[in-house]
């Protein structure tokens, strides 16, 4: 299919270009000569925009020739030597191309209108674009108008709920925290389930780029979302490739879907845009804990104070955003610069994220538009301030655990022997949450730059060659310190600091040919290319203990404050350097027969250094067929405005596993300081991996059947998709057959993970009047997941808390969905208040109850009235279950009996104080929810100013209402509770609480 292309060749001197990136190519090209045909008339005129002002930079070309020019600043042009009987073509980026026959006229004035329709209808498919109506695969495109509004820290959030079959779960409410994206269910266990992200043609590695944490007394903390570097304001569109026929062009990385992000390009005569917003976030729902009075009334120990720990630690977080962009463009090139600033305070004291971002994109055409040079660059500095909330804190609890369980009668402060006010910290087992927050510091500073420079050359008519050099570099340092004044296991009286640095250096070089040809009613579009991508990664981590100061800044920035003279005080944990490579050959052919039958065939051969000598290369084919029923005479045109049937099948892969797991390698293990900071342990030479030359790709074969339709004169349009995905050769970390060098080894498991589903997307233009409009967008998806033919069972979903060491809640086994819950069936309490389990005091599957939703849905209502517009967006998730590790660990009679606060429902329950709260369905709840995710009210101020061309004011509310039966803080949650690297899903453990946010803002164009 032809890509959306407005610019046509025009004569353009290539002088005036400052510097080019591909000098050699350019030099070759300058020697090319081109035909100039003799002509006879001169035509002039003015090109205007819809507002009546002159449009500069419009390409004016005599059709079928290379003769052309561009309009000047006032929109006028003059073109000499064109044929009398010729036709002029006026084209401009973002506007509808217009053709006007010259006839006998010597003055041709035209008015160009915005070509929004054409923009909407194009989808990016990887190494090119296609018109949406010609797309053969399951592809969704969303543009700026569909994006989530308000405070959006990373690109995934823009598309939450907007696309059928794409489920986006923020693992918690933490600013900048991790996000799970699942396209068409969950098909892998170890191979990662996030889709491949491609930004302006550069595929990202998907690895974390900042360090996690694992401080003594705190627990394991996840890395921040690696996509935080991307300012959502710089994004023009997101295209989601869902089925294998579309993703196969990304071969070994396509199994989980592909998300293609295209950044904004400059257009028009040059404009300056500024956007500002200010948001206020507060917790949506506090935990229903006992107040001091209620705690005493329930028989709790009175320590004399009255503290609402939630009030002490939660706050209204303010967020301000500034975005400044300027750019312009015409048919011969474009440029855009942007600056972004985000300062978001979390709703927990001290937490937050700051981002400074810079974006640039530019293109320029040379040599009669035969050579196009382009570059995109996104650069950001992200500064995260974390708080000690972890994924696996023990019974002592992390910061959030402390907020939930601290005795409400415990005063925050006490006085020391000298009469100074100090934090009241009763002991290691009951950390004072305010002290935890204020006597610790956790800063992550990340610089990431992603960009590419590319050159496209038209060799002959229809044949183009494009080369792309891409890079993705990041430097990240996470530094944390815990004061010796903080009474927490392993910290009190010791003081600890950690430094964790990660450096990533990924490079891309791609070269490909595209060929477009039309022969009669048949058109052909072919792609053939080669790609090389390398992924270098370095890390270094340091730990120190026994600090001689309690000044957190000094601890981080003058780490020698750790008393290195005392054994066990400091250690370089370890460093690492890894490089992976991916070398690929790919091709695609699109055939359009009579505009009625469209056929796509794709093949990618990927070679990856992640796999063993016997299986370095994998072959990933796909094919798709589209029958445009609308073109058939038997389809009643009075009923349908569009009707097409699609069929696609393809094989894609997954290679998201750690570096080199097939060579028998030894590495000195990391050193660590023990709990008492009086010994250093570790450092032995140990095997990293077992020799396994047969290790290979995980492959997913997927079938897709889709129907696109439009009725009621295009007012109602939509699509229905049916799919089935089968994943085999599952990459799995299995228990080694001992004796063995490593406890686990990587193998391809002979199993079959199946996802089957239906997706429906509907767009309905209910009213489309001049002053009033109402548009409804709805999508829903059903997915069923099941594991087949798996030998052995694999436990995951670690449950933490007092008396829960070794407990788990999920098991992967055949006949069950992935991550199926495996629990005791709770049946209430006996007379002594101990749990009874009518089905037996052992864990079992629960009829396929799992954390994976079976239905996801989104509903958007867009209303406009004159200069006002209102958008309401709801999303919903159904059929999933959430296990509350938080309740399991903290909201029990036993916990209350041990002097801790609990939720109000615990007091009235029949549970006895000595009951052991074993893992059971007592803590399992339905995770269904419907949420008013986004409400946006905008007003376009009618300006007649010469300074402003556009002024828009808006108010946005995010996460305003949630309808759910889940009693935890929020049903959109997934704390990483992996066991032996097997990930979990849908478990809630002291997750950073979620906020609702109101934002007011203004966008101004100059």
Q: By CB under 8 A, what part of segment 755-814 binds another protein?
A: 791-792, 801-808
CA angle 295, 301, 302 (to 5 degrees): 80
Residues between 418 and 447 with contacts to another protein, criterion CB under 8 A: 426-429
d(CA 238, CA 145) in angstroms, rounded, equals: 11
Tokens at 7, concatenated: 């610019």
Binding residue (CB under 8 A) for another protein from 557, 576, 714, 867:
576
Instruction: Tell me which residues in 945-974 interact with another protein (CB under 8 A).
Output: none
Helix, strand or coil, per DSSP, at residue 72: coil
Q: Which residues contact 951 (CB under 8 A, 6 or more apart)?
A: 940, 941, 943, 1002, 1003, 1004, 1005
Element (H, E) at 893: helix 893-897
Q: What count of other Cβ atoms lies within 10 Å of the Cβ of residue 24?
A: 8
- Min dist CB 410 to another protein, Å, is 11
Residue 332's alpha-carbon distances to 368, 445, 462, 502, in angstroms, are 9, 39, 19, 41
Distance CA 761, CA 141 (A): 12
Closest CB to another protein among 628 and 747?
747
Minimum distance between the CB of residue 912 and another protein, rounded to whole angstroms?
Answer: 8
Residue 196: count of CB within 10 angstroms of its CB: 26
Return the residues of window 531-560 that contact another protein according to CB under 8 A: 532, 534
Q: How far is the CB of 121 from another protein (least distance, A)?
A: 31
Integer Rg of the chain from CA: 31
Per the document, the length of the chain is 1006
Binding another protein by CB under 8 A: which of 299, 613, 815, 838? Answer: 613
| Contact pick of 383, 511, 595, 641 for another protein (by CB under 8 A) | 511
Angle at 947 between CA 946 and CA 953, to 5 degrees: 115
Tokens of 298: 């329930």
Q: Using CA atoms, how far apart are residues 953 and 1001, in angstroms rounded to an integer?
A: 6
Among 4, 22, 530, 829, binds another protein (CB under 8 A): 530
- Choosing from 691, 763, 765, 903, the residue that interacts with another protein (CB under 8 A) is 691
- Of residues 306-325, those binding another protein (CB under 8 A): none
Write down the least CB distance from residue 735 to another protein, Å.
4
- Which positions from 735 through 754 interact with another protein, judged by CB under 8 A? 735-743, 745, 747
Smallest CA-to-CA distance from 313 within 380, 387, 224 is with 387
The span from the CA of 190 to the CA of 982, in Å, is 6
Least CB distance to another protein at residue 921 (A):
15
Nearest approach, Cβ of 328 to another protein (angstroms)? 31
Mask: binding to another protein, 465-484, rule CB under 8 A, as x and -? x-x-----------------
Closer by beta carbon to another protein, 64 or else 684: 684
* 917 is a contact residue toward another protein (CB under 8 A): yes
- Residue 561 binds another protein (CB under 8 A): no
By the rule CB under 8 A, 587 interacts with another protein: no
Least distance in angstroms from the C-beta of 501 to another protein: 14
Residues with Cβ within 8 Å of residue 365, at least 6 apart in sequence: 7, 12, 331, 332, 333, 371, 372, 373
Q: Name the segment binding another protein (CB under 8 A); options: 308-316, 553-561, 604-612, 988-996.
A: 604-612
Distance CA 70, CA 480 (A): 58
Residue 913 touching another protein (CB under 8 A): yes
Min separation Cβ 528 and another protein, Å: 8
Stretch that binds another protein, among 228-236, 246-254, 272-280, 577-585 (CB under 8 A): 577-585
595 binds another protein, rule: CB under 8 A:
no
| Window of 68-76, 157-165, 472-480, 525-533 that interacts with another protein by CB under 8 A | 525-533
Residue 299 binds another protein, judged by CB under 8 A: no
Count of residues near another protein by CB under 8 A: 98
* Closest CB 911 distance from another protein, rounded Å: 11
User: How far, in Å, CA of 995 to CA of 1006, rounded?
Assistant: 34
In the complex with another protein, the residue whose CB is nearer, 588 or 994, is: 588
Instruction: Tell me which residues in 648-687 interact with another protein (CB under 8 A).
Output: 659-660, 663-668, 674-676, 678-679, 681-686
* Contact set for another protein, span 195-254 (CB under 8 A): none
**Which of 735, 743, 890, 905 is CA-nearest to residue 804?**
890
Closest CA to 1 of 104, 136, 91: 136
Paired sense of beta strands 219-221 and 317-330, if any: unpaired
- Scan residues 829-868 and list those touching another protein (CB under 8 A): none
Tokens 């995980």 correspond to: 698
Among 14, 280, 356, 585, binds another protein (CB under 8 A): 585
Burial class (CB in 10 A: 0-12, 13-18, 19+), 87: middle
Residue 331 vs 502, nearer CB to another protein:
502
Residue 27 makes contact with another protein by CB under 8 A: no
């Amino acid at each position: 299919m032809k890509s959306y292309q407005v610019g046509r060749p025009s004569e353009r001197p290539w002088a005036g270009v400052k510097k080019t990136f591909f000098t050699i190519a350019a030099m070759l090209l300058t020697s090319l000569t081109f035909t100039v045909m003799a002509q006879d008339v001169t035509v002039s005129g003015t090109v205007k925009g819809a507002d009546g002002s002159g449009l500069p930079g419009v390409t004016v070309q005599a059709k079928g020739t290379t003769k052309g020019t561009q309009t000047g600043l006032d929109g006028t042009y003059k073109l000499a030597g064109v044929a009398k009987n010729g036709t002029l073509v006026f084209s401009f980026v973002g506007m509808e191309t217009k053709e006007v026959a010259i006839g006998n006229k010597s003055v041709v004035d035209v008015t160009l209108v915005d070509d929004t329709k054409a923009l909407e209808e194009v989808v990016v498919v990887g190494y090119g674009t296609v018109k949406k109506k010609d797309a053969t695969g399951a592809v969704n495109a969303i543009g700026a108008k569909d994006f989530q509004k308000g405070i959006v820290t990373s690109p995934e959030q823009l598309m939450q709920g907007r696309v059928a079959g794409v489920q986006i779960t923020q693992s918690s409410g933490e600013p900048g925290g991790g996000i799970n994206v699942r396209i068409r269910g969950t098909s892998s266990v170890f191979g990662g389930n996030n889709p491949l992200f491609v930004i302006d043609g550069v595929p990202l590695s998907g690895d974390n780029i900042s360090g996690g944490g694992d401080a003594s007394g705190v627990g394991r903390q996840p890395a921040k979302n690696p996509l935080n570097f991307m300012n959502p304001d710089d994004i023009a569109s997101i295209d989601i490739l869902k089925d294998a026929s579309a993703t196969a062009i990304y071969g070994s990385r396509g199994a989980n879907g592909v998300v293609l992000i295209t950044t904004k390009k400059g257009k028009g005569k040059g404009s300056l845009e500024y956007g500002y917003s200010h948001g206020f976030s507060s917790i949506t729902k506090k935990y229903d804990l006992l107040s001091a009075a209620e705690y005493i009334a329930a028989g709790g120990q009175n320590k004399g104070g009255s503290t609402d720990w939630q009030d002490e630690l939660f706050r209204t977080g303010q967020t301000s955003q500034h975005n400044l962009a300027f750019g312009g463009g015409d048919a011969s090139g474009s440029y855009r610069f942007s600056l972004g600033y985000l300062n978001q305070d979390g709703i927990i004291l001290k937490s937050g994220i700051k981002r400074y971002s810079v974006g640039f994109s530019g293109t320029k055409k040379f040599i009669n538009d035969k050579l196009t040079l382009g570059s995109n660059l996104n650069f950001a500095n992200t500064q995260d301030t974390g708080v000690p909330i972890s994924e696996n804190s023990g019974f002592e609890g992390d910061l959030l655990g402390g907020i939930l369980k601290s005795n409400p009668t415990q005063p925050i402060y006490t006085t020391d022997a000298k009469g100074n006010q100090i934090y009241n910290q009763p002991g290691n087992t009951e950390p004072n949450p305010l002290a935890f927050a204020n006597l610790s510091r956790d800063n992550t500073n990340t610089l990431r730059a992603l960009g590419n420079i590319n050159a496209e050359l038209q060799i002959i008519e229809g044949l183009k060659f494009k080369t792309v050099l891409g890079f993705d570099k990041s430097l990240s340092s996470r530094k944390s310190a815990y004061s010796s004044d903080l009474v927490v296991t392993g910290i009190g009286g010791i003081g600890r600091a950690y430094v964790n640095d990660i450096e990533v250096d990924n490079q891309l070089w791609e070269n490909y040919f595209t060929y477009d040809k039309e022969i009669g009613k048949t058109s052909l579009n072919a792609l053939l290319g080669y790609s090389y991508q390398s992924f270098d990664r370095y890390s270094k981590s340091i730990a120190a203990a026994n600090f001689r100061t309690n000044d957190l800044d000094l601890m981080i920035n003058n780490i020698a404050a750790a008393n290195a003279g005392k054994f066990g005080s400091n250690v370089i944990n370890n460093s690492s350097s890894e490089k992976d490579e991916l070398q690929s050959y790919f091709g695609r052919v699109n055939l359009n027969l009579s505009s009625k039958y469209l056929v796509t065939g794709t093949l990618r051969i990927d070679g990856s250094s992640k796999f063993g000598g016997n299986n370095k290369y994998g072959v990933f084919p796909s094919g798709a067929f589209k029958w445009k029923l609308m073109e058939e005479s038997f389809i009643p045109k009075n009923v349908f405005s569009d009707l097409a049937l699609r069929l696609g099948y393809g094989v894609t892969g997954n290679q998201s596993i750690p570096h080199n797991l097939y060579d028998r390698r030894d590495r000195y293990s990391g050193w660590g300081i023990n709990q008492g900071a009086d010994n250093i342990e570790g450092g032995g030479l140990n095997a990293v991996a077992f020799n396994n030359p047969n290790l290979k790709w995980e492959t997913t074969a997927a079938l897709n059947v889709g129907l696109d339709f439009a009725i009621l004169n295009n007012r109602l349009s939509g699509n229905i998709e049916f799919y089935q995905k089968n994943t085999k050769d599952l990459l799995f970390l299995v228990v080694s057959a001992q004796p063995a060098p490593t406890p686990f080894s990587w193998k391809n498991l002979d199993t079959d993970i199946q996802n089957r589903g239906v997706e429906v997307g509907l767009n309905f233009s209910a009213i489309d009047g001049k002053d009033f409009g109402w548009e409804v967008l709805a999508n829903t998806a059903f997915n069923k997941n099941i594991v087949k033919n798996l030998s052995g069972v694999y436990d995951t979903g670690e449950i933490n808390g007092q008396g829960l060491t070794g407990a788990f809640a999920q098991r992967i086994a055949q006949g069950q969905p992935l991550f199926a819950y495996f629990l005791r069936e709770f049946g209430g309490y006996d007379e002594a208040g101990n749990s009874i389990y009518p089905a037996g005091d052992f864990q079992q599957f629960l009829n396929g109850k799992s954390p994976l939703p079976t239905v996801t849905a989104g509903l958007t209502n867009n209303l406009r009235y004159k200069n006002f517009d209102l958008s309401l967006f709801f999303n919903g998730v159904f059929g999933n279950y959430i296990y509350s590790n938080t309740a399991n660990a903290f909201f029990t009679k036993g916990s209350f009996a041990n002097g801790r606060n609990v939720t109000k429902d615990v007091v009235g329950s029949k549970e006895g104080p000595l009951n052991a709260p074993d893992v059971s369905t007592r803590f399992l709840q339905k995770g269904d929810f419907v949420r008013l995710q986004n409400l946006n009210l905008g007003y376009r101020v009618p300006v007649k100013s010469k300074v402003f061309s556009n002024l828009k004011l808006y108010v946005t509310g995010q996460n305003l209402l949630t309808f759910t039966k889940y009693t935890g803080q929020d049903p959109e949650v997934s704390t990483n509770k992996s066991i032996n690297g097997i990930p979990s899903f849908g478990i809630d453990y002291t997750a950073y609480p979620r906020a609702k946010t109101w934002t007011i803002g203004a966008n101004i164009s100059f």
